[in-house]
Amino acid sequence: MTSKTIVPPLKQIPAYLQTIRDYEIEAEKHLSDMVWAYLQGGSMNEVSVQNNLQQFQELHLLPRMLRELTHGNTTCEILGQKFPHPIFLAPIGHQQQFHPEAEMASALAAEVLESNIILSTFTNTDLRQLKQENPYKWFQLYWQGSREKSLDLVKMAEAHDYKALVITVDSPHTGIRDRERQVFFHLPEGMQHPHTPTHIPLPQRQADEHPLFAGLMKIAPTWQDIAWIVQQTHLPVILKGIVHPQDAQLAIQHGVHGLIISNHGGRVLDTCISPLTALQLIKECVPENFPLLYDGGIRRGSDIFKALALGASAVLIGRPYIYGLATAGALGVAHVIRILKEELEITMALMGTATLKEINKDYIFYK
């Protein structure tokens, strides 16, 4: 068996890269088979990975004609902060395995395109290296096994002027990822994670205690921990990974300021409800202006429109910008954001909607 030749990142964008799908095909050339399996894979049979993509195909657009659109724009406001467009970069860790410049490249692209970046706890880049004066950055927290260790990271993000705190709650344990296991996935030896160890030390347990439930689950966060964090920070707190309407209501009761509706890209719990379905269920049971961000399966500007129509305040992209990062670093990430932004703008114009506030479920038709 011949080993794969990995193509170095490109220095300029070739004309054939015009869609996210083009970038997906290109990105595979620049990554090892092991890293590609990590990026593309999901949990178990990867049903949720496929459903996240398929759900958009099942929704059809119902456009309106002859509208006055000369005042059109893509600006939005979330938690009192204005954004030029609703395309945010999802928190993805270990980005050095995709490109040597890692999160610094993604952050540069996000800054140039005025896209809000959510920096992962598992960043290879110190959170203080992102420009302090850039207003479009949030910090994502994986619970560190204790309130004190978690709060240390929150206070560091506050000090560097991150504008919100995103706590990921849907993965207290990693998913069972068959594709990763088959290629014996592992992070490079010596890869630096400046803010957290790759594996949080487990608590001591008795011999007769369950290794999972008395181990990792014992140090997983609870609603009381979320309420405590809300009280300890001046940053708005957003929970990522909520899909059940009752959890959405509990989040509000515990002082949370917004939600990211997500099934973790299908990487944690396979056959979990799709985020588009969850978005519609949760939209029905939260206050009208409560921020609901959408994460999962965005590949076209029309997908963004559909998510906004069903109640999203903004959307997160994950794999798409990593395709750009692997292909051409900051240049690739910036191009991916621009592609989606232009597709969204053209979709809005053809749908007869000048602003994001005009987009609603009346523009969606179900087969």
Model confidence pLDDT, tens digit, residues 187-217 = 999 999 999 876 677 677 777 777 666 556 6
Reading the block at residue 346, the tokens are 């053209």
Under-70 pLDDT residues of the chain: 1-2, 198-199, 202, 211-217, 219
Q: Is 171 exposed, middle or buried (0-12, 13-18, 19+ CB in 10 A)?
A: middle
Amino acid letter, residue 152: D
Q: What share of the chain is helix, strand, coil (3-state, %, to 5)?
A: 40, 10, 50
Neighbours of 11 (CB within 10 A): 8
Q: Determine phi and psi for 193, rounding to 5 degrees.
A: -125, 95
pLDDT at 174: 86
Q: How far apart are CA 226 and CA 242, in angstroms?
A: 13
Is 83 in a helix, a strand, or coil? strand
As annotated, the active-site residues are 264
Q: Two tokens at 139?
A: 């910090």
What single string gives the DSSP state of each residue in 288-341?
Answer: TT--EEEES---SHHHHHHHHHTT-SEEEE-HHHHHHHHHHHHHHHHHHHHHHH
pLDDT on residue 197? 79
Q: Is the pTM above the cut of 0.85?
A: yes
Number of H helices, E strands in the chain: 11, 12
Q: What's the confidence (pLDDT) of residue 1?
A: 45
DSSP for 172-239, written as a single string: SS----HHHHHTT--PPTT---TTS-SSPPPPP--TTS-TTTTTGGGGS--HHHHHHHHHH-SS-EEE
Q: What is the pLDDT of residue 220?
A: 86
Residue 359 · residue 74 · CB < 8 Å: no
Could you tell me what percent of the chain has a pLDDT over 90? 90
What's the token pair of residue 53?
Answer: 């993509």
Among candidates 105, 208, 111, 220, which has minimal Cα distance to 167?
Answer: 220
For strand 314-317 and strand 292-295, is the pairing parallel, antiparallel, or unpaired? parallel
